[in-house]
Structure 1
């Protein structure tokens, strides 16, 4: 018999925890974790920013700046390594230096039926660029420029951005607006150059005021555009000495990704651009065989060019891409409606309106398993090397093949002067080319590239001249960025 004191001292029996109870608790925690992850993903999508924008590059500092508390004079500046150091002070202000160095070797051979063979070999700096980016309160900035192709210093990015509370991104400065390959940085495009499509659509950096809106898997952007920030003010017009109005226009782009997962992407997009030459010399539609080394004939020019014939133009473009893990396909097609200058302004370049058609398609494969990352802004970004060489791996390898096409042959002769006095006629032909490329990424910020291009240019005979050409270009590049 147990005494009352002893009975009081004994602990109460603990109810047995069954296996079913444990399963229920684990299931409840898993459901709560999934709910929190869904909320975090929804918030990230709602606050999405176009890849490549300053705000995207400094998203975390941007949030800090908006919700920042008064600066603590004693607080230390935070430093985060992102290829180069990003400095963040207590108020949320950020600053990060950036730059890139692209060194090329280019060998060009041009065979012609009725003229001497042209050969050229050059070792050159494709780009030597330095710049910076950062945040000042809710405003972001990016400034980057340097020497390209042996020319004087010029600016690429020179922009100021502001993101409104409802998610609109407002950007003013020297920038690009449209095109899948065009908006992909030269640091991350699959091939060394964008090919004839990039040359002919001519959607490079210009001063513009742009508005961008992103959804979960779509994007809309539009801009009013001028000329490049590097263009000096002029006092004499191209055809009329008293007309010095700078070129102007607008561009809009829309994209949608019906499939957008970490391993699979289906991208669709379209863009339109209208521009007017104003008082400047007419637009020229000119292309080279997959290289920024444009002198591909003995006169220092190329064999595919209309001359300065465009008073204004309208470009309609369609784009599509498919990616499944380490394999991807991408292509774009554009039609440029050219409104020619009048023969009264230029007897050599004037004439009837015509269309230019150009496009490309390429395939890319990473044998080492890397994936081309895609964002809701309708852009492919920088790959992440899975096994860099400093981690005992071999780096990332990429093999790619591209087909290019361009047709300028719809440009016709005018009846004011003889065809031989209209220089663009002899080089307004068709282009077909195939480029094979191999890339090696030993680290995320280092890339070695080789491209081989075989191209055929067919031009019409004008008098005794027919500028048909078979072009072979062999290129190599070493690239480093920070």
Structure 2
């Protein structure tokens, strides 16, 4: 290929040079002058040929260096060894670790949802919908001296928001966290959205406004005991200008008996609100791509919130089960009786593919890795899940409505980092926010939804 390029280049150059030369010959056919010009042309052509040969040699050397570098990178990823003192592990993306204590790993996720909501037509609600549920990019790693970092941004809905922004310090079994991160309010809330068994978490986690907040926390993870406690303000998007503050704590007992993982825990939440604040508890019908909340307390003048949660789970081979309950008490500022709202869910799931089990790590559900992934010539993992979900926003004269959900999901993971999820939910409403044409607020909704997901 290089010789063909050189020949074409020389021919083009010869044509360019000989054209004025032959013009001169035609005008002055002096034999001595013609010989001199031909000699000059030969010298120029020889110089150009030498330059092209040098360029070809340089190009061949560059290609060899690039090929060698490519092979070294591939070998480093395969063997986990790069330059001396560094290791590379593949965890969705390469994670680079240096012997001095530095590490770096890109992270992110893409989730696309679509589905339909079928409710009585006279409510004026329901229909087909879809969205980019999450589109996140970030990085995490360690720093020398026991420090660590994690930051992540979400680009969904054409908005840039900060999800996690954490600086940490670890010593022994203790870890100190400073920045924006999840408060400690339950098993499913703290389980990453890429590892949940349904398209959305239990209804109460969204209704009671569990969210990431700016604060500082202490985490002690020792053997079978996990303790998490922290003090927080509000989400970064609400800062500065807020005087709200909260205290959150969670304790988990997580023994492993043989091959069976057990999980028992509880959490407590207190949120002090600045004067003139309001709270509102409401919830969508399972999916996030609709703005309709069929149960809704509307805004309540409040001084504080007090929450109490209990959680449990078991993982045994292909089977898992989990249950959570949560009570949210609101201290109203209008001299009314303080209401206590309730939410909870219970679910069970089973892998239909051999050798698969649900992942678990440090007090939350973690990544499930197919025993026979598609990239290894297998089918991936296939899991079926059933859930009952209850949310009650009626108490102390406040009629926010009730929602009883009967749900099923089918989760197919072709590889460790890809997932397709299908959901069905039958929701029964009492005192719904949107009446039918006859004025009834007691009716049902059926939802079918799907998610395509990739993360790293």
Q: TM-score, normalised by structure 1?
A: 0.72
Aligned to 1:230: 237
Displacement of 1:232: 4.4
Among candidates 196, 214, 221, match of residue 214 of structure 1: 221
Q: Does 1:275 align with 2:271?
A: yes
Equivalent residue, structure 2, for 1:51: none
Aligned to 2:253: 256
Kindly indicate whether residue 193 of structure 2 is the aligned counterpart of residue 197 of structure 1: no
**Mapping for residues 73-472 of structure 1, pairs under 5 Å:** 75=84, 77-111=86-120, 115-137=122-144, 138-148=146-156, 150-164=157-171, 166-176=172-182, 177-234=184-241, 245-261=242-258, 263-279=259-275, 281-296=277-292, 302-309=293-300, 310-342=302-334, 351-368=336-353, 369-375=355-361, 377-412=362-397, 425=399, 428-459=400-431, 466-472=440-446
- Unmatched 5+ stretches in structure 2: 1-82
Q: Which has the larger radius of gyration?
A: 2
C-alpha offsets along residues 367-418 of structure 1, whole Å, 9 cap, x if unaligned? 113111323x3212111110001212110001001110111111416xxxxx
Query: In 2 relative to 1, CA 338–440 (structure 1 residues): closer, same or farther, beyond 3 Å?
Result: same
Q: Is the 8 A contact 1:247 1:279 kept in 2?
A: no
**Structure 1: gaps of 5 or more residues:** 1-73, 235-244, 297-301, 344-350, 414-424
- C-alpha displacement at 1:75, in angstroms? 4.5
For 2:285, what is the secondary structure of its paired residue? coil
The 1:91–1:313 alpha-carbon spacing in structure 2 relative to 1, beyond 3 Å, is same
Structure 2 SS opposite 1:399: strand
Alignment deviations for residues 186-231 of structure 1 (CA, whole Å, 9 cap, x no partner) = 0001111003121123222111211011121111110101111122
Could you tell me how far 1:76 is from its partner in structure 2?
6.4
Q: Distance in 1 between matches of 2:276 and 2:250?
A: 26
RMSD: 2.2
Determine which structure has the larger helix proportion and give its number.
2
Contact 2:401 2:433 in 1 (8 A): no
User: How much does 1:447 deviate?
Assistant: 0.3
**Distance in 1, Cα, partners of 2:222 & 2:434:** 52
Shift in Å at residue 95 of structure 1? 1.2
The offset of 1:331, in angstroms, is 0.6
CA positional deviation for 1:460? 7.6
Distance 1:204 1:212, change over 3 A: same
1:85: how far off?
A: 1.3
Structure 2 CA distance for partners of 1:354 and 1:465, relative to 1, 3 Å:
farther
